[in-house]
Copies of this chain bind each other. A is one copy, B any other.
């Protein structure tokens, strides 16, 4: 198919529809409003259903219901709205249901602002909700990748019966880039566990996250963690760019990874050899990859680049485990780092190194 020029948010919505998603439940919030608007327009045309829920809490619980009923279903929001969904997300994990949750992050805390940010990393990756759980968290860095990851995301969610989160930001949601919708065979999996009405003689289907007996709950959590081990094995994704001889490796995802590439180009002109490790899955985190590059002699240090006060940097430090110094540079509250400022920071690091 030919390339089309599309806003990130609209591309997400279109990708979802092309991936067979027919149900969307959401509540308006900037900077992701193009997603529900697109869904409201297009879903009725393909026999699907869009509901503007009365709140984010209702939205995630409609998702909970629809996912339990076997649908390929999605919701999207931005930071404060995602905070409201935390209880629901924890339930969906507990009940082992697949769905896609999009967070187009804006500056926080509180009402904060509406400019792009990456300050919901912890919430997405460590678990903003209660209890032991994880989600695969996908972090696209271009509109094309958004499309691809949204489509993959639904498959991953179904494969493990676990919600998947796409973590974007206001910049990725609002910008336009050419994008291609590759043809895919959409095979929606059988869902023999879904509530569809209990046919006589068949076992009932029960969607539930309550395990009143502590031992039963522990067994259940262990079951979830066996799935997480599988996800770690099979779903970890990462891009390494120019790392081969890099003196300093930048670790960045999404928008800041794009900036990092500018920095690398600028630095190359000044004879400074930088690399980039770009986690595409923030969970599972590509710790092995980082560890491997930490082992390399040419790698003198890491710089984690984020639009936050330093969140992913903890996972980078855990991966590097003391082998090399890990520095941090970040802007927050909707400020986007300029390539030049990052380069200056790197020069400072080279001086103390």
Report which A residues bind B (CB closer than 8 A): 57, 79-80, 82-84, 86-87, 90-95, 105, 107-115, 117, 119-120, 122-123, 126-133, 208-222, 224-225, 308-309, 311, 314, 317-318, 321-323, 331-335
Chain B nearest Cβ from A314, distance in angstroms: 6
User: What B residues does A109 contact at CB under 8 A?
Assistant: 90-91, 93-94, 129-133, 209, 221, 224
Most chain B beta-carbon neighbours within 10 Å: one of A94, A107, A216: A107
Closest to A106 in B: B130
Whether A333 and B113, one on each chain, are in contact in the complex, defined by CB atoms closer than 8 angstroms, is: no
What are the 4 tightest A-B residue pairs by CB atom distance, in nearest-first order? A108-B131, A94-B110, A110-B209, A322-B322
Chain B nearest Cβ from A78, distance in angstroms: 8
CA distance A120 to B95 in the complex (A): 18
User: What B residues does A318 contact at CB under 8 A?
Assistant: 314, 317-318
CA distance A217 to B84 in the complex (A): 21
Closest to A103 in B: B130
Picked from B113, B117, B211, the residue with its CB within 8 Å of the CB of A112 is: B211
CA distance A111 to B210 in the complex (A): 5
Picked from B120, B127, B131, B211, the residue with its CB within 8 Å of the CB of A131 is: B120
Picked from B214, B331, B334, the residue with its CB within 8 Å of the CB of A107 is: B214
A-B residue pairs in contact (CB < 8 Å), sample of 13: A83-B129, A94-B108, A94-B110, A107-B211, A108-B132, A110-B210, A112-B211, A113-B213, A119-B131, A122-B122, A215-B335, A217-B332, A218-B335
Whether A130 and B119, one on each chain, are in contact in the complex, defined by CB atoms closer than 8 angstroms, is: yes
Whether A127 and B132, one on each chain, are in contact in the complex, defined by CB atoms closer than 8 angstroms, is: no
Q: Beyond A112-B209, A113-B211, A216-B333, list 17 extra A-B contacts (CB 8 Å).
A: A57-B84, A84-B84, A94-B111, A107-B131, A109-B129, A109-B133, A111-B208, A112-B130, A112-B217, A113-B217, A122-B127, A126-B311, A132-B309, A215-B335, A217-B332, A217-B334, A222-B332
